[in-house]
Structure 1
Amino acid sequence: MLLTAAVDIDDVVASGAGAETAPGAGGFVLRRFRDGDSVEELTALLHRAYADHAAAGRVFFASYQSPEDTRHRLGKGECWVATWDGVPVGTVTVSAPHSTPSGYPAPEGAGSFWQLAVDPARRGSGLGRRLLALAEARIAALGSDHVVIDTSAQAAELVGWYRRRGYAPIGAWRWDVTNYDSVVLAKDLARRAA
């Protein structure tokens, strides 16, 4: 089933913390994760979304993290969820400015996002692009001119997806919770808005 509901990202960004889009066709809603939402359901969504990477030998943290890990990661930013008829089908967590470890190649004051995930049953629907647009818009609204992320250098299709959306490699990093070297990608959000 394709995602057909129109999500007005500008309305969500302008409203910030309490924002929620009205349900569209089929019940699609984009909103902040809130008290009462299931961290276990969100963790299961992350596991499903990252299972293909794990099967290819790229062990993304989101492919095996525990609900406690998910809760911890949610506490570091704004978590947004996309639901379809009340069921989580996508998510992204954003932070700006975002603190990074010493030596991590990131522009000063950059924002970041992580746990960008779309349920495999919703791939090809445009939901990933909508979540990415939301993440970028929220990072800009929180005051950062740049966004920096990282992903497996081995995930050529994912790196290509980001590059087609204006991200450029700026360095490399190795996390101790993964089994791969990461490529660090950045995008100038001020240039995008100009």
Structure 2
Amino acid sequence: MRLGNGELVEARPFAEGDSVARLTRLLHRAYSDHAAEGRVFFASYQSVEDTAHRLGRGECWLALRAGELVGTVTVAAPYAVPEAYPAPAGTGSFWQLAVGPEYRGTGLGQQLLTLAEERIAELGFSQVVIDTSAEAVELVGWYLRRGYVPVGYWRWGVTNYESVVLLKEMESGGHIQ
């Protein structure tokens, strides 16, 4: 991947030998601004064990620049939606989309989002569902500008906010609209 500033970043799956602790530190740094604003995303405080558990529920991708971990996303397709979750079964999802604070504004987040959507399509799913803090207006707007639409609300027991659930339809054949 080439960032907006011209830097090259390698995207690859999490592999044996990669550090879950290092990934957890990136997540804490990436979500620290939300926590400072009072929105306690799980990724802002999860333990190394929590990170390992979440990795085991999906396909984790790492973004590395010269060996430095600068971003990540975890893809799950199919996504096992909780009972009463306001989205259809049989969707793909992603979580732990994170970019190191020093890489914000470089296009890395958009590239990781595209990677997640493409992987979900490659796995044969025609819809992507995610959720995020309804209070994170800028973040929700970012997803809306990328084709996601609100379909409901959800409250997770590990956060201190109500989440807006967002869905994106893909064209037939698994291509992103």
Q: Name the TM-score class by shorter chain.
A: over 0.9
CA contact (8 A) 1:146 1:190 kept: no
Letter in 2 for 1:52: D
Q: Secondary structure at the match of 1:130?
A: helix
User: How many residues were matched structurally?
Assistant: 174
2:90 aligned with 1:92: no
Deviation at 1:73, TM superposition (A): 0.1
2:171 aligned with 1:185: no
Deviation at 1:131, TM superposition (A): 0.2
RMSD between aligned alpha carbons?
A: 1.6
CA contact (8 A) 1:94 1:112 kept: yes
2:175 aligned with 1:175: no
1:54 alignment partner in structure 2: 35
Calculate the TM-score normalised by the size of structure 1: 0.86
2:10 alignment partner in structure 1: 29
Q: Secondary structure at the match of 1:93?
A: strand
* Separation (CA, whole Å) in 2 of partners of 1:99 and 1:84: 32
Deviation at 1:4, TM superposition (A): 4.9
Q: Secondary structure at the match of 2:138?
A: helix
Letter in 1 for 2:156: W
* Percent of aligned pairs sharing the same letter: 64
2:33 aligned with 1:72: no
Deviation at 1:105, TM superposition (A): 1.1
**Deviations 1:43-78 (CA, angstroms, capped at 9, x unpaired):** 000000000000000000000000100000000000
1:102 alignment partner in structure 2: 83
What are the ranges of 5 or more consecutive residues in structure 1 without an aligned counterpart? 6-24
Q: Secondary structure at the match of 1:134?
A: helix
1 or 2, which has the higher helix percentage?
Answer: 1
CA contact (8 A) 1:27 1:86 kept: no
Q: Secondary structure at the match of 2:171?
A: helix
Letter in 2 for 1:100: V
Match of 1:114 among 82, 85, 95: 95
Q: Secondary structure at the match of 2:143?
A: helix
* Separation (CA, whole Å) in 1 of partners of 2:24 and 2:87: 27
